[in-house]
Structure 1
Amino acid sequence: MTIDDKPPGAIRTFAEEDYRYGTGPLRIRIDRVLAGTPLQHDGDLWYEVEGVEVSDQGQVVGPRRATVRASRLPMIRRP
């Protein structure tokens, strides 16, 4: 997994090819990664995430659950 410098609760943007299922980029504040249930798809590891989708204008769209390519998620730090 990659590490980035965004603080917890930051809005993250995923390209269409890096999440399932939708059209166009996904902008989401990830609240939870369901790390116990990874999926294999197209030779990559994917995780379900839950959060709040945000429009490109910064408006809240609503709750969203998506499957995101593991390599595009920030590293999960445990206390």
Structure 2
Amino acid sequence: MTIDDRPAGTVWTFAEEDYRYGVGPLRIRLNRVLAGSPLQHDGDLWFEVEGIEVTDQGHVIGPRRATIRASRLPTIRRA
């Protein structure tokens, strides 16, 4: 699946409670949502995503895979 309706390079910020695992907010340029294997945790649906993690100043940290609460993800469409 791919991210829809946002310009390439949009950085998404997820609060610590909305992704697993890490400390503090996660800033990431989403490339893909791996929708084939959603997870159930604490009564919520979660998806793994792939992207590029960036600092709050926009500097690239590197590739990142994370699990994010589905209700916090942007609209997605099948590629």
TM range (shorter): 0.7 to 0.9
For 1:21-36, list aligned pairs within 5 A. Answer: 21-36=21-36
Q: In the alignment, is the contact (CA less than 8 A) between 1:12 and 1:28 conserved in 2?
A: yes
Q: In the alignment, is the contact (CA less than 8 A) between 1:9 and 1:31 conserved in 2?
A: no
CA distance in 1, matches of 2:62, 2:5: 25
Q: CA deviation at 1:66?
A: 0.3
Report the AA paired with residue 18 of structure 2: D
Stretches of structure 1 that go unaligned for 5 or more consecutive residues are none
TM-score (norm 1): 0.88
Stretches of structure 2 that go unaligned for 5 or more consecutive residues are none
Total equivalences in the alignment:
76
Residue 62 of structure 1 corresponds to 62
Change (3 A) 1:44 1:8: farther
Deviations 1:13-45 (A, max 9, x none): 000000000000000001010001100001000
Residue 17 of structure 2 corresponds to 17
RMSD, aligned α-carbons: 1.6
Moved over 2 A (4+): 4-9
CA distance in 2, matches of 1:60, 1:71: 26
CA distance in 2, matches of 1:46, 1:25: 17
Fraction of identical pairs, as percent? 78
**Given the alignment of the two structures, is residue 53 of structure 1 paired with residue 53 of structure 2, yes or no?**
yes
CA distance in 1, matches of 2:70, 2:22: 17
Q: CA deviation at 1:75?
A: 1.2
